[in-house]
Amino acid sequence: MFQVKSRDFIFQVERVKSCTLDVHPTEKALVVHYEVEATILGELGEAMIGERKECQKIIRLKSLNAHTDTSSLARKVVEECRLIHPSKLREVEQLLFYLNVSCEEKKRISPRDFTPYAGVELDEEASINRIDEYVELLYEDVQEKIRGATLIFQLARNPDNLEELIQNEAALGALARVLREDWKQSVDLATTITYIFFCFSSFSQFHGLVTHFKIGALCMNIIEHELKRYDLWQDELQKKKKKEHEKSLRKYQSLLIKQEQLLRVALCLLLNLAEDTRTELKMRNKNIVHMLVKILDREDEELLLVVVSFLKKLSIFLENKNDMKLARLLPCEHEELQSTTLRLLLNLSFDTSLRSQMVQAALVPKLSSLLADEAQRQLSMCILYHISMDDRFKSMFADTDCIPQLMRMVFDCGEEKMDVELISLCINLAANKSDAQVICEGNGLKMLMKRALKLKDVLVMKMIRNLSQHNGPTKSLFLDHVGDLAAQITEDEAEEFVIECLGTLANLTIPDLDWALVLKEYKLVPYLKDRLKPGSAEDDLILEVVIMIGTVSVDDSCAAMLAKSGIIPALIELLNAQQEDDEFVCQIVYVFYQMVFHKATRDVIVKETQAPAYLIDLMHDNNAEIRKVCNNTLDIIAEYDEEWGKKIQTEKFRWYNGQWLEMVENRQMDEGEPFLFGEDAESFIGNGEILERPDLFYSPDGIISADGALSPDFYTDFQSGELGQTGFMNRYGAPCLPGPGSKSS
């Protein structure tokens, strides 16, 4: 933000908003789209004119190649480009990977990849010196035209001849005219001439020539016509009787071979011309995507390779993605087709709706099976990673062989650095309960712990932390590893590693776990208390410390130990420092909630600190979760301390009945005017004054048992967001207080 002052106004540019990332369609570059908001302020600081401007920045990556470490490059991009928030690091990595793959594939199909089919092979060899003779043949009958075009094609296949051919306007004009007028008469003629212009399209400097003769538009017409012919052939075959069907089928297959050769070369020519985004847009407007998707039903793998390559290029642009339909292309024996299909799917997998289509098309098991193929492994893993980002689809991995394969890859890494795609996918899957159970089968958890602790591997520990959040048999497995995790909570360890270890321990709400013993044996209380000081560490670490304290405070002896150490005042100090951070506030209040269950800590909180006063202030916080846990904590305090109970009662009464009381107190009631609220209100209102207040508290069902004992079984409800209160209307028409422990609907 900066300001420019003058006599009359201040011009102020606000912070950048709405930053999104994409890959450049034609270059090795990332495109950063962002919005800048500018405001002109008056002399008194009032906003006079506001303006928003959409901008973009291109980050060129000329050094990007197959050997580039995309993780390191992504970090460098995020560090050097202030427009990109650090939270987008993973997205930058994925875009760089895709960009790298796309650049490797961005080679044109060479004319030498094609050989004329048997129908137009000639015994004679073409010579550039006889070009005029070949052009003359284009004015004869169809067979002679085919012969002339074939001889010119022999010349065009050699790039050395293209410069001379381009100077011969008569030859090129004649070829374009014959193609335009006679392509419907002979597939052989149309294919051969299209081959010639395809040779020119393989070089960017000749694109102007091809465009000049409108060959691209003509190829679009040819493709559209051939697809209609294909549909007619199919209809005719269906109508043929059994005897005639076999004969017609042989004829149909012969025609199909020639047609697919024509489609292939026409599409290759268009794919080359589509390097120009304006030309590509024209193709898009002529429904090229629909045509390509129709051809996906064919069996010819070489034709399919061109189609999928074209779709992959078109899929870079968002508006094209909605036309994509997934087909039966995986797995297949044609390695290059399979690889190109995976690259297309990777591009599409950035789109949420298309990921859903992939799952519906049963691609998860197919992609999982391709993990065994080393050549296709990384692409398959990246697509699976994108699918795993959606919680709806995570459980589907448990029914495939994906997880066992991933675990083998993890263990096969030994002490080497793990591929970021592999561990990222594992982290996502570990967040699902069904997947977590498969991961932990056998010695899965034990082996992960061994690698994480030996190599201080933060990402593997992040995966372990996700595993630890699931109740049931998975969480119980962690009992054997509590000591190993607690031993990592020291000042000597890296903060990012300690964060994951603390987060894992905080998830272990296991009844059989003796937290008091853990705190004593590993001397954790001093560490936890020191880390509560604002600024003593990164906020992420301090927050994990607070969550950890909340977990161990379920235990009576742990809560007493923590209270005795002076942790409660430290929490209040931290609450003051972090009062704008809802996550901090919610977790600190939850610690107070846990501690008021135990007599020793309840007395400290109520009698020795001002925690109840802070809780009263937070009772009407904008954050619903904070309000829920805060109100439940205050309900318990009110039950056990009469003085605070009255204060809390007064505040709740004031809040819930504030609007109604304001109306009553401000109303000057005439002596003869009947009461608005009926006879029942007479005991409550007299001459605008409050005579007595109804009892606004109810029995603490759900929190306090009949014998007065308090249940600490609150953690699960808190985590699932089920704690809450429901408002009711009292008989006077005003909202009155819910009872402590009542649930929200």
CATH for 228:
1.25.10
Does 226 map to a domain?
yes
Do residues 337 and 299 touch, judged by C-beta distance below 8 A?
no
* Residue where a domain stops, chosen among 593, 626, 660: 660
Asked whether residue 85 falls in the same domain as residue 20, the answer is yes
CATH for 637:
1.25.10.10
Q: How many domains does the chain have?
A: 3
- Give the pLDDT of residue 272: 92
- Give the pLDDT of residue 16: 67
Asked whether residue 244 falls in the same domain as residue 139, the answer is yes
Asked whether residue 654 falls in the same domain as residue 520, the answer is yes
Asked whether residue 147 falls in the same domain as residue 20, the answer is no
- Give the pLDDT of residue 621: 85
Q: Coil, strand or helix: which one is 21?
A: strand
Does 115 map to a domain?
no
Asked whether residue 155 falls in the same domain as residue 95, the answer is no
Asked whether residue 547 falls in the same domain as residue 603, the answer is yes
- Give the pLDDT of residue 651: 82
- Give the pLDDT of residue 433: 94
- Give the pLDDT of residue 598: 85
Q: Coil, strand or helix: which one is 689?
A: strand
Count Cβ neighbours within 10 Å for each residue of 330-355 and write b for 16 or more, e otherwise.
beeeeeebbbbbbbbbbbbbbbeebb
What number of H helices and E strands is found in the chain? 38, 8
Residue with tokens 């360890």: 493
The reported pTM is 0.68
485, 491, 495, 501 alpha-carbon torsion, rounded to 10°: 10
**635-665 pLDDT, tens per residue?**
888 888 888 888 888 887 777 776 666 666 6
Does 744 map to a domain?
no
Do residues 684 and 653 touch, judged by C-beta distance below 8 A?
no
Does 605 map to a domain?
yes
Asked whether residue 68 falls in the same domain as residue 198, the answer is no
- Give the pLDDT of residue 690: 37
Asked whether residue 69 falls in the same domain as residue 153, the answer is no
Asked whether residue 575 falls in the same domain as residue 620, the answer is yes
Do residues 144 and 135 touch, judged by C-beta distance below 8 A?
no
* Residue where a domain stops, chosen among 254, 276, 298: 276
Domain that holds residue 45: 11-104
Beta bridge partners of 22: 31
The two structure tokens encoding residue 126? 């073409």
- Give the pLDDT of residue 48: 57
Do residues 202 and 114 touch, judged by C-beta distance below 8 A?
no
Asked whether residue 55 falls in the same domain as residue 164, the answer is no
* Residue where a domain stops, chosen among 246, 276, 306: 276
Asked whether residue 519 falls in the same domain as residue 652, the answer is yes
Does 6 map to a domain?
no
The parts of the chain modelled with pLDDT lower than 50 are 1-9, 11, 13, 105-108, 111-112, 115-119, 327, 668-745
Does 255 map to a domain?
yes
**493-520 pLDDT, tens per residue?**
899 999 999 999 999 998 888 999 999 9
Query: For 479-482, which contacts have Cβ atoms below 8 Å and span 24 or more sequence positions?
Result: 479/510, 479/512, 479/513, 480/446, 481/445, 481/449, 482/508, 482/513, 482/518
- Give the pLDDT of residue 544: 94
Asked whether residue 148 falls in the same domain as residue 53, the answer is no
Does 695 map to a domain?
no
Does 165 map to a domain?
yes
- Give the pLDDT of residue 724: 39
